[in-house]
């Protein structure tokens, strides 16, 4: 194979790799793979190299044990085994939040873990429970006895979380209310805001009551001797093996710049690079918003930042030109002219299209293509996008 045929436009290639392990030189691994791509005529200037955050974090060895999280609550925030720690609006997820909840429960193994759940869903659409009446009133888990089963996994996450807390020796106190300030009814020693995208808004609503309030981003967010960390803290973390979690990658900006420079030096190609997480995708069947990471893009080279994905209404333009009597060749020539200039948002040509952040579109494309299961394709090469 020597390049894609001319009749192919925008394309995305998921590149196969072996296991990415701690200590690997990920820049070198990717450059070596792109050298194979280049030899087949499939690497060009202005291509976008999309690297999944998991590959970068794994190569960094960015794993943190649950006991280290429990220790940090004690060391930094003064939590003892007998304390009352409150968690507000967590996600319902065995992968994203269950291990964090277990670490918190370990920290208060002789105390109380207070869990405030939003309803009828968590912040990204996973079901919690159907609570009739005033959404701000407090309803205890014991009053309803069970949560709503997840439409895909079939798991009652509320009961699952209760059992998880109790298994570590802590007393579970679980209630439902959409008013974040309801948490103060239970006199916590520390409040941890656990929702992702609205975390700062929720935290602001809880300040000024004389009780410490932090977000998940503030835990494991500082460089500490011998411990993993990320500027995202526990946000974007995932379940790993042996009672550990994988944090989001740290200092991803340095990585994207290093990879861009390495590709230019080794292969003489000027590419853009990004580190992507979850795509911004909402499942139309379940209503679950798949963006559990704090951002779609943890870092990107300057050529991708601050840009919108703009386009023109192709069907509208073709219909309009056809109505004017232009031939197919003349229509194609006019369409090409539009492609070669920047279409302004809100212009007639852009009617019916919605500008999106470029990195969000790219991250979603890459995430949907690479997936998080067994594809073994942690790098996606996007061609013809820029």
Longest dimension (CA), the chain: 80
125: left (phi over 0), alpha (psi -120 to 50) or beta: left
Determine the average pLDDT of the residues in 1-8. Answer: 78
The position carrying tokens 């190569």 is 59
H or E element, residue 299: strand 297-300
Q: What is the pLDDT of residue 294?
A: 95
- Tens digit of each residue's pLDDT (9 = 90 or more) over 254-274: 999 999 999 999 999 999 999
What distance in Å separates the CA atoms of residue 379 and residue 276, rounded to the nearest whole number?
A: 10
- Tens digit of each residue's pLDDT (9 = 90 or more) over 31-61: 999 999 999 999 999 999 999 999 999 999 9
Q: Comparing 177 with 2, which gets the higher pLDDT?
A: 177
What distance in Å separates the CA atoms of residue 331 and residue 329, rounded to the nearest whole number?
A: 5
Closest CA to 361 of 291, 309, 301: 309
Q: From edge to edge, which strands make up the β-sheet containing 244-246? A: 63-65, 244-246, 238-239
H or E element, residue 143: helix 141-144
Mean pLDDT of the chain: 91
Catalogue the E-assigned strands of the chain.
Answer: 11-15, 48-52, 63-65, 84-88, 112-117, 139-140, 171-176, 190-193, 213-215, 238-239, 244-246, 272-276, 297-300, 308-309, 356-357, 379-383
Confidence of residue 321 (pLDDT cuts 50, 70, 90): confident
CB of 172 within 8 A of CB of 142? no
Q: What residues contact residue 227 under an 8 Å CB cut-off, 6+ apart?
A: 64, 68, 220
pLDDT at 369 over 70: yes
- Pairing type for strands 171-176 and 272-276 reads unpaired
Determine the average pLDDT of the residues in 278-294. Answer: 89
List the domains of the chain with CATH numbers: 11-61+249-310+355-383 (3.30.1330.100), 63-246 (3.40.50.620)
What distance in Å separates the CA atoms of residue 369 and residue 19, rounded to the nearest whole number?
A: 18
CB of 128 within 8 A of CB of 148? yes
CB of 178 within 8 A of CB of 136? yes
Q: What is the pLDDT of residue 350?
A: 47
Q: What is the pLDDT of residue 374?
A: 52
- Tens digit of each residue's pLDDT (9 = 90 or more) over 53-93: 999 999 999 999 999 999 999 999 999 999 999 999 999 99
Q: What is the pLDDT of residue 330?
A: 78
- Residue 91, classified by CB atoms within 10 Å of its CB into exposed (0-12), middle (13-18) or buried (19+), is buried
DSSP reduced 3-state for 247: coil
DSSP string, 173-186: EEEE-S-GGGGGGG
- Pairing type for strands 190-193 and 213-215 reads parallel
What distance in Å separates the CA atoms of residue 4 and residue 41, rounded to the nearest whole number?
A: 8
Q: Comparing 265 with 8, which gets the higher pLDDT?
A: 265
Least confident of 223-227, 239-243, 314-318: 314-318
pLDDT at 244 over 90: yes
Q: Comparing 189 with 322, which gets the higher pLDDT?
A: 189
DSSP string, 345-360: TTSSTTTT---EEHHH
Determine the average pLDDT of the residues in 201-213. Answer: 96
pTM, two decimals, is 0.88
Confidence of residue 351 (pLDDT cuts 50, 70, 90): very low
């Amino acid at each position: 194979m020597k390049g894609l045929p001319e009749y192919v436009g925008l394309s995305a290639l998921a590149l196969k790799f072996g296991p990415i392990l701690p200590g690997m030189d990920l820049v070198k691994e990717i450059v070596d793979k792109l050298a194979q791509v280049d030899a087949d005529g499939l690497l060009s200037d202005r291509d976008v190299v999309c690297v999944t955050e998991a590959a970068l974090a794994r190569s960094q060895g960015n794993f943190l044990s649950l006991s280290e999280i429990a220790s940090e609550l004690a060391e930094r925030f003064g939590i003892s085994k007998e304390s009352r720690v409150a968690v507000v609006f967590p996600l319902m997820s065995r992968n994203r939040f269950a291990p964090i909840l277990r670490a918190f429960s370990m920290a208060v193994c002789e105390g109380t873990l207070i869990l405030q759940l939003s309803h009828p869903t968590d912040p990204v659409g996973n079901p919690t429970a159907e609570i009739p009446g005033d959404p701000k009133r407090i309803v205890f888990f014991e009053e309803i006895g069970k949560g709503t089963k997840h439409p895909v996994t079939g798991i009652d996450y509320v009961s699952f979380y209760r059992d998880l807390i109790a298994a570590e020796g802590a007393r579970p106190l679980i209630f439902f209310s959409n008013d974040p300030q309801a948490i103060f009814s239970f006199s916590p020693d520390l409040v941890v805001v656990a929702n992702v995208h609205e975390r700062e808004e929720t935290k602001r609503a809880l300040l000024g009551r004389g009780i410490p309030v932090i977000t998940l981003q503030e835990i494991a967010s500082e460089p500490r001797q011998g411990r993993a960390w990320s500027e995202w803290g526990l946000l974007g973390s995932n379940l790993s093996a042996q009672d550990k979690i994988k944090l989001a990658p740290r200092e991803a900006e340095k990585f994207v710049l290093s990879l861009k420079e390495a590709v230019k030096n080794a292969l003489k190609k000027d590419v853009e690079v990004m580190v992507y997480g979850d795509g911004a995708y909402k499942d139309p069947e379940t209503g679950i918003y798949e963006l559990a990471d704090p951002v779609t893009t943890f870092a990107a080279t300057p050529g991708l930042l601050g840009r919108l994905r703009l386009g023109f209404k192709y069907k509208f333009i073709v219909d309009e030109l056809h109505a004017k009597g232009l031939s197919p060749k003349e229509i194609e020539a006019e369409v090409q002219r539009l492609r070669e200039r920047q279409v302004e948002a809100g212009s007639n040509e852009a009617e019916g299209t919605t500008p999106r952040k470029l990195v969000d579109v790219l991250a979603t494309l890459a995430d949907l293509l690479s997936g998080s299961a067994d594809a073994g394709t942690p790098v996606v090469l996007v061609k013809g996008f820029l």
